[in-house]
Amino acid sequence: MSRKPEFRGPEHGSFNIAPRVAKAMHADDHWHSKPWYEAPREDPAFPEVYTYTDAMSYDPGDEVRFHSSSTARSWSLEIYRDGAEPETVHKAELPGSFHPMPSEAYRNGCDWPVGHNWRLPEDLRSGFYRVVSTCMRADGGRFVQHHFFVVRPTAETRRASILMILPTATWTAYNDWGGANHYFGIVGPERDRPSPVLSLQRPWTRGIVWLPAGAPRICADPAPEMGDAPRYPMKEWAFANGFGQYYAAAGWAQFDRHFVVWAEREGYELDFITQTDLHYSPERLDAYPCVVIVGHDEYWTREMRLNIEGYVDRGGNLARFGANFLWQIRLDDDGRTQHCYKFKAGEEDPVRGTDAAETLTTAWEDRHVAWPGASTVGVNGMQGLYASWGGFAPRGQKGFTVYRPEHWVFEGTGLHYADIFGDKAHIFAYEVDGLDYTFRHGLPYAVPAEGIPDDIEILAMAPAVLAEDEPEGDGFRYYVRGSDHEGLVQAATGEATRENLKRYKYGSGMMVNMKRGKGEVLTAATCEWVMGLKRGDPFTQQITRNVLDRFSARR
């Protein structure tokens, strides 16, 4: 019996190394004062290649159009299905053709011509496909760039009972390629504002699609000693290694891939769609008893919410091992453009004061939208948010405390009331979601409020905060500080008074379970749940098995 050759990805070895050049650094320079974004060098002396596709997802048999620009004479394209056992599906050697990056590529797209076409095989397996573009340099080095597309399942290719929805709207929000994302950018007269409108017709910034092993995560690891200045290792590493400054906040490489690799090794079959597919083609969900979402899951359209709620109401099961359900967005141009005005929505979003005001692109808990996430996923973004990094409880517990060990989700774990699980693997970190709660006889209960399901059960939880605590110390510098706290409270209440700020400063991250219609929802509301799977935490793994096995049983 012949042995399958070991997969060797095109990322193997050292690449994207520019010549060493010294430049001045001033005493008041630091990574937060000079945010960076990815853009092409466009210098033939340093050949490079960038590629994007005409869509984010395709059916088998569809034609994929690759739009590329390269200052190299020739370059290589390689595509492989990523997962526990990566598999190369297409290679091509292509001539280089240079096309400049438009000044507002982040908003309007690159509009580069098609450089290559590939028709997907009719039997191609659903999955996440990395698109790797590579060119050589005269010094023997290589330039490597990553893109991706998703192959959706069809009736003929469907092979799973679990459908994974990739949180691609969040990936888009953090993609700064070309000059801006929803957080910062070169917009406005001072070239210092984010863009509320982002195009999908551009490449992805480094780190969203692919990362080397060991890239830091957003978690205080190790916990700081007494008196230590706050650290943000992900920013330091990104600057030192030439990756996007928000690589650690979102993307396949940092979150979703870890779940997929674990699940496939465990024997679970997964089919895949994007959030754009959820928005435009919700009928795809009905073939599956279980839908899964993991990692950083921050941005949704109104249609996405209604579609997932309809799926659960009809008897579907939603397993959400992720967090940060916070912002409403809009999509247009068949999903090629994403809108989110965030804290500026009340003054700048074109739908304000119109018949479409319900789609105002602000927080779900904004008083003008007033549709907290609990009715959809069981928890709210504003009543959780940050944990275990920077000034956000960096020495806090990095796992969940169990409160209802008799629940089916803990079957086979041996966990007891008040046990903490996942802390060694740091599963409780970065961003989390929760509910306002009260204790009765030692057990937590959700405080009744509009949109909070009556039967919701809080199974496990841990503290979180909405603003960085800022104790003073020698040379201390903080990153987010209270900006999100003030902005969200202003949106929710209309006035960021001291009383309102105090009301929302402290929250929690929770694992909750609820019934909705004929279906069921289980949310483990922390971005870092995937680390319990990757790092071998037996409790996190068994809980995940329990959820997937129960929810994927045919209804």
d(Cα 152, Cα 276) in Å, to the nearest integer?
A: 12
- pLDDT tens for each residue of 266-294: 999 999 999 999 999 999 999 999 999 99
Q: Please name which of 175, 189, 188 lies closest in space to residue 105, comparing C-alpha atoms.
A: 175
Residues 6+ apart with CB under 8 A from 267: none
pTM of the model: 0.97
Kind plus residue range of the DSSP H or E element containing 91: strand 87-95
Residues 6+ apart with CB under 8 A from 173: 181, 182, 183, 198, 250, 298, 299, 327, 329, 338, 340
Residue 222, strand partner residues:
none
462: left (phi > 0), else alpha (psi -120 to 50), else beta? beta
CA distances from 359 to 199, 370, 394 (A): 19, 11, 36
Provide the pLDDT for residue 33: 86
Domains assigned to the chain:
49-154 (2.60.40.1930)
Provide the pLDDT for residue 506: 96
Provide the pLDDT for residue 555: 58
- Regions of the chain with pLDDT less than 70: 1-2, 554-555
Provide the pLDDT for residue 519: 97
Provide the pLDDT for residue 30: 85
What is the β-pairing status of strands 380-387 and 430-434?
antiparallel
Q: Which residue has the tokens 């079959």?
A: 269
Q: Are 56 and 168 in contact (CB under 8 A)?
A: yes
- Measured N-to-C along each axis, helices 483-493 and 498-505 cross at an angle, to the nearest 10 degrees, of 110
385-412 exposure pattern, b = at least 16 Cβ within 10 A, e = fewer: bbbbbbbbbbebebbbbbbbbebebbbe
